[in-house]
Amino acid sequence: MHELQEDPAPGEETVKRPRGRAIVITSGKGGVGKTTMTANIGTALAQGGAKVALVDADVGLRNLDIVLGLEARVRSHVLDVLEGRVTLDDALVTDKRVPTLRLLAAAQTREKDEVDTTAMHALIDTLREQFDYVLIDCPAGIEKGFTNAIVGADEAIIVCTPEVAAVRDADRVVGLLGNRESIKLIVNRLRPELVRRGKMLSVEDVNAILRLPLLGVIADEPGVIISTNKGEPLALDVGSTAGAAYRAIAGRIAGTNTSKPLIPQPATFLQKLGSFFGGRR
Amino acid sequence: MSARRIVLTSGKGGVGKTTTTANLGAALAKRGKRVVLVDADIGLRNLDLVLGLEKRIVFDLVEVVEGRCQLRQALIKDKRFQSLSVLPAAQTRDKASVSEQQFAEVVNGLDELADYVLIDCPAGIEHGFRNAVAGAAEAIVVTTPEVSSIRDADRVIGKLNERDMPIRLIINRIRPEMVRTGDMMSVEDVVDILNVKLVGLIPDDEEVIDTTNRGEPIVLVPDSRLGEIYEKIARRLNGENVAFTTLSAPGIFSRLFGQRKAG
């Protein structure tokens, strides 16, 4: 187990470790899958042995705790830490499944305007001293909550669904992110069958507008809704297609996976037949 | 007669507020009502796209507030319905550029021009939410049958209750086959938790992805299942007593194994 030290003495091991990476997961438009993506990428990175902190920046409408199945274990939140009521160490909730994964929950009964942007930046910096990855789950929109979520991150992942409205919002957010070290794209909820019939934008259509390095593509599947409702990230499910895609994305972030993202294709007749007789998946 | 001012809100983003606003507005206009749709999502507007009107925008809500144009000049008439128009949000400004009072004044200015003013609220509960709600006398909360969406809806209903306005509920993106297998919450579960009056049940249907991308209201698609559902919601909103009918769900699973309510 690793130790969390707020103020390491000079010369100790913690001082020498490189600063962790702070990555914000954002989109502009809501409901495109930011929170599910944060939970799954974080789980997959931690499963690979990295120390990962997930920060829910959606003060007032938090959900990352639910998606991770940790809602009953949350006792304190970001604002408790920023306002000095608890230590950072006490506010971090350890994941049930992956011991190197921690959650810092958002306050549910407070407002985003109450979070000081400078203090939020300092908090992310502190987390970067202790973790290999700090993933920040950004709220929808581009108001104060967005500003606070992006302030400490020098990398960003844009989650976008193949819809005109989501692409337009994502494009706006890319503009607002400015000169980040890296801005990469995940296309979420692709329905290959609809793309084939010309009823949905393709990954190429989306990226013709956004023009970002592609980190991965996740197909729309009911399994994601089920796992989100149950609080069990699919990244741990070795039989799930989406789970494999989340793990591949985590590998690309860590640099251990150099393969190009797979674009999900429509199921063949035999696959459809198989899923009809064999149930989902 | 003064207009009914209704905000469509959800807390969580991406549950279908904008699509519902556009289609409900079109359904009301189809019934002969004068309807103005107000996009309150300053900075991330999309209502214009969903109605295919994005190229016709000349002025926006912020310019009305700042007195740079008349309210009537900023209204864009729909291509298909004479009595439907949109007041677009500004795209390159932020939500704080309009105060709650200014927003309410703009909406009040629509009183003589419309029977219904539907306000498309942004996601979240920040300034943009407060503006959208400040302009409304009634609310429709849109949710999907997912835990996170319901939690956010519950939080928003709490905030709306503080303002003492009538609240109705639309449950969107229901997947009957998932409800049947116990993988999705049922309508009854959602209504139990949120405890507000139900006005619409909308199944998840890929048809809406395509019509939304093309900027076409689904009530104009002949024999559209979703189109009929939006028309029913419009009638309920208009005070008619329309039963929630039982429709068969799409897909072979539900055709073989059961039927769920929709409407």
pLDDT of residue A18: 87
Orientation angle between helical segments B225-237 and B17-30, nearest 10 degrees: 70
Contact A168 B46 (CB under 8 A): yes
Residue B250, pLDDT > 70, answer no
Residue B105, pLDDT > 80, answer yes
Contact B46 A139 (CB under 8 A): no
pLDDT of residue A158: 98
Chain A contact present for B146, CB below 8 A: yes
Q: How confident is the model at residue A10 (pLDDT cuts 50, 70, 90)?
A: very low
Strands of the sheet with B116-120, listed across from one edge: B76-77, B84-87, B35-39, B116-120, B4-9, B138-143, B167-174, B197-203
Name the one residue in this structure whose structure tokens are 């994941």. A95
Residue B218: which CATH number? Answer: 3.40.50.300
Q: What pLDDT, in 10s, does the model give residues B2-30? A: 899 999 999 999 999 999 999 999 999 99
pLDDT of residue A17: 73
Q: What pLDDT, in 10s, does the model give residues B219-228? A: 999 999 999 9
Interface test with B, best of A205, A225, A226, A281 (most B CBs within 10 A): A225
Minimal C-alpha gap between A204 and chain B (Å): 16
Sequence length of chain A is: 281
pLDDT of residue A214: 98
CB-based burial, A162-199: b 16+ in 10 Å, e otherwise: bbbbbbbbbbbbbeebeeeeebbbbbbbbbbbbbeeeb
List of residues 6+ apart from A22 with CB closer than 8 A: A124, A127, A128, A134, A136, A152, A153, A154, A155
Report the first-to-last Cα separation within chain A, whole angstroms.
35
Q: How confident is the model at residue B259 (pLDDT cuts 50, 70, 90)?
A: very low
Q: Which two tokens stand for residue B183?
A: 């993988």
Domain ranges, residue B58: 4-261
Q: Which fold has domain A17-278?
A: Rossmann fold (3.40.50)
For residues B170 and A177, give the distance between their C-alpha atoms in angstroms, rounded to a whole number. 34
Q: What pLDDT, in 10s, does the model give residues A89-126? A: 999 999 999 999 999 999 999 999 999 999 999 999 99
The answer to whether A44 and A235 are in contact (CB under 8 A) is yes
Residue B253, pLDDT > 90, answer no
Using a CB-CB cut-off of 8 Å, the residues of chain B touching A32 are 13-14
pLDDT of residue B255: 39
Strand partners for B142 = B170
Q: Which residue of chain A has the CA closest to B52?
A: A164
List of residues 6+ apart from A108 with CB closer than 8 A: A60, A61, A62, A77, B155
CA B66 to chain centre: 26
Helical segments of A83-232, H only: 88-91, 117-130, 144-150, 164-177, 192-196, 203-210, 222-230
Query: How much is the average pLDDT of A210-228?
Result: 95
Strand partners for A53 = A102, A134
Chain A contact present for B167, CB below 8 A: no
Q: Which two tokens stand for residue A183?
A: 């801005």
DSSP calls for B192-227: HHH--EEEEEEE--THHHHHHHHT--GGGSTT-HHH
Query: How much is the average pLDDT of B187-192?
Result: 94
What ipTM score was computed for the predicted complex, to two decimals? Answer: 0.86
Contact B43 A201 (CB under 8 A): no
Share of chain A above pLDDT 90, in %: 86
**Number of structural domains chain B divides into:** 1
Helix (H, G, I), strand (E, B) or coil at B241: coil
For residue B228, report the phi and psi dihedrals to the nearest 5 degrees: -60, -40
Using a CB-CB cut-off of 8 Å, the residues of chain A touching B127 are 113, 143-144
Residue A243, pLDDT > 80, answer yes
Contact B209 A194 (CB under 8 A): yes
pLDDT of residue B254: 40
Chain B contact present for A273, CB below 8 A: no
For residue A141, report the phi and psi dihedrals to the nearest 5 degrees: 90, 180
Helix (H, G, I), strand (E, B) or coil at B230: helix
For residues A152 and A78, give the distance between their C-alpha atoms in angstroms, rounded to a whole number. 14
Residue B54 DSSP symbol: G
Contact B124 A141 (CB under 8 A): yes
pLDDT of residue B263: 63
The answer to whether B185 and B175 are in contact (CB under 8 A) is no
Minimal C-alpha gap between A164 and chain B (Å): 6
pLDDT of residue A278: 59
Burial class (CB in 10 A: 0-12, 13-18, 19+), B97: middle
Using a CB-CB cut-off of 8 Å, the residues of chain B touching A222 are 175, 178, 183
Interface test with A, best of B50, B147, B172, B210 (most A CBs within 10 A): B147
Q: Where are the domains positioned within chain A? A: 17-278
Q: How confident is the model at residue B249 (pLDDT cuts 50, 70, 90)?
A: very low
Query: How much is the average pLDDT of B179-201?
Result: 94
- Chain pair A-B, CB pairs under 8 angstroms: 129
- Using left for φ > 0, alpha for ψ between -120 and 50, and beta otherwise, residue A111 falls in beta
Helix (H, G, I), strand (E, B) or coil at A170: helix
Residue A1, pLDDT > 80, answer no
Q: What pLDDT, in 10s, does the model give residues A58-76? A: 999 999 999 999 999 999 9
DSSP calls for A225-280: HHHHHHT--GGG-TT-HHHHHHHHHHHHHHTS--SPPPPP-PPPHHHHHHHHHH--
pLDDT of residue A275: 67
Strand partners for B171 = B143, B201
Query: How much is the average pLDDT of B231-237?
Result: 97
Q: How many CB atoms lie within 10 A of CB A266?
A: 14
Query: How much is the average pLDDT of B145-158?
Result: 96
pLDDT of residue A267: 81
Strand duo A182-190 + A101-104: pairing:
unpaired
Q: How confident is the model at residue B118 (pLDDT cuts 50, 70, 90)?
A: very high
